[in-house]
Chain A
């Protein structure tokens, strides 16, 4: 069951749009904030609160990549491997992180602290190579910086 704070947030969200269905996307973020990923129960609860058929929530949650279908580590490390970052050796950054954490892409460390993913362009091409960890961007990366950043995350 969603917390009272979450339910209240959903009530606020409802005021922003002409239809209840529009609230599905922001409500999925509320569920993700609450549980760390999109749970089936969470989706059913959103559907009930908004008065929409559950399948409409399922559809949206599986279309957009930022909704986690499975639990992720406390720090979701997302490295861009699109063109500008690749020219600046983004692949190498992925290798460095992979070796340091001891996981392959799409895997989570055994202590559930880090999940490593590669993602498409994050709109930070001028400061490539770069990565996003949870909500924060880390730009102009090199081996040293990556080491520091990961060490600093406890």
Chain B
């Protein structure tokens, strides 16, 4: 059994309270970090091999190193707690049950990049989590883990919670910045990158909750400890959220690189009685689905990329044989269509066109040529959008086509569903 790192506290009673966190060794990492130089900290994180847990998988240490060293510039840290990718529910556990772990990670990260203020951008629906975070921050101020001259180190830092209000696009880092600035969350033109022109025009780092939660552990146990877990290029403990037709859906902390089969069958108890595995979405709905033949793929950034899909947020959604793939694809596509910010033509108009065609197909009004049309639209959209949302929609749809084209063809030809015979 893999010894939990990120989730080690969540079963402790009142784990979210400062007292519980301290009892379990909390804020030791902060003390250690404040005695190091920011450069040494950044190098440590680089050496650990930690890659962003939000989905992009970019080297966290490298991202931190992009921040200019000019001490006269104000800098910001933003924590991306928007957790909107369908299938994903990992950050929520940290926020609700071990918020101090996140807070500590954020203070250390801020110290490393020289940020005097940070914001936790938390999706509006996580009201409970936001309350827990605000309480934790308040406790942290009381113990001088936040505020002026933290633990006598001369480092000042303020932390705030900013609540979203229902927009998946805020998970995109520049859209997140726009949202904090009080605007509609439309992604920004890059370059300039947030490391140079970020929140309020200042150098900014945006990191995912889980990424920041790793930081205290790296400080406490060392970079090489972290790097030794899982594959060398994609190391560390990882929270895998598994949902769908399995017996024990939920959150499992396992080493990066754990095979998908193990997650589904060993940890999540396998398929529900009477259900056969049909498809698995490995990393949130933007990741093209896999089938039975791919179950031995190690769940890490590079192995999944090699299979034409992605680790993303590590959200595993198991689809059983009673679910029509056309319907699943439509649900996913409706999601992207609903969440499109509307800025760029291909996403706004392209996804709209696709969803109209797919609705027809799903409801028995498919026409000959519809699949070719959808494929043409995928080509029109992919790689031409302003941000990856449009790409995610296309990848999901292509994943459905590539593996289950016959279901689409059946819907179109027979005006009803291949799986359950309904219109």
Contacts and interface: CB of A to CB of B under 8 A. Distances in A.
A87 B244 contact: yes
Interface string B311-324: 00001011110010
A4 B244 CA distance: 48
B241 A28 contact: no
A60 B91 CA distance: 26
B79 interface: no
B190 to A, nearest CB: 21
B165 A25 contact: yes
A122 B182 contact: no
Greatest chain A CB density within 10 A among B123, B168, B243 is at: B243
A106 to B, nearest CB: 14
Interface in A20-73: 21-26, 28-29, 52, 56, 59-60, 63-67
A83 B200 contact: no
A27 to B, nearest CB: 9
Interface in B223-254: 241-245, 249-251
Greatest chain A CB density within 10 A among B85, B168, B249 is at: B249
Nearest to A26: B163
B394 to A, nearest CB: 17
5 contacts: A63-B167, A88-B243, A120-B86, A125-B87, A126-B249
Given A22-B182, A66-B124, A128 B249 contact: yes
A108 interface: no
B185 interface: yes
Interface in B103-162: 123-128, 160, 162
Contacts of A29: 163, 165
A132 B241 contact: no
What is the size category of the interface that chain A forms with chain B? 35 or more
Contacts of B182: 17, 19, 21-25, 52, 56, 60
A122 B335 CA distance: 12
A16 interface: yes
B185 A123 contact: no
Contacts, number: 146
Nearest to B88: A123
Nearest to B82: A123
Contacts of B88: 121, 123, 125
B339 interface: yes
A142 interface: no
A21 B87 CA distance: 33
A18 interface: yes
Nearest to A65: B166
Interface in A74-93: 81-84, 86-88
Contacts of A52: 182
Nearest to A136: B128
A134 B285 CA distance: 26
B40 to A, nearest CB: 30
A21 B200 CA distance: 11
Nearest to B318: A87
Given A67-B166, A120-B84, 6 more contacts: A17-B180, A21-B182, A25-B164, A63-B167, A123-B88, A126-B242
Majority SS at the chain B contact face: mixed
Interface residues of B, number: 55
A109 interface: no
B281 interface: yes
A59 B180 CA distance: 14
Greatest chain B CB density within 10 A among A59, A87, A126 is at: A126
Interface string B170-197: 0000000001111111000000000000
Nearest to B91: A123
A19 B200 contact: yes
A131 to B, nearest CB: 11
B12 interface: no
Given A21-B182, A121-B335, A123-B83, A132 B244 contact: no
A127 to B, nearest CB: 7
Nearest to A140: B249
Contacts of B83: 123
B184 A60 contact: yes
Nearest to B336: A120
Contacts of A84: 86-87, 243-244, 249, 317
A7 to B, nearest CB: 18
A121 B87 contact: yes
A84 B242 CA distance: 9
Given A121-B84, A123-B92, A135 B317 contact: no
Nearest to A50: B182
A149 B407 CA distance: 38
A86 B158 CA distance: 41
Given A16-B160, A19-B200, A21-B181, A125 B315 contact: yes
Given A64-B166, A82-B86, A83-B317, A22 B92 contact: no
Contacts of A67: 165-166
A144 B421 CA distance: 29
A121 B128 contact: no
A150 B124 CA distance: 23
Contacts of B166: 64-67
A71 B242 CA distance: 36
B373 interface: no
Nearest to A87: B244
Which 6 A-B residue pairs are closest in the complex by CB-CB distance? A64-B165, A65-B166, A125-B243, A66-B166, A21-B182, A121-B86
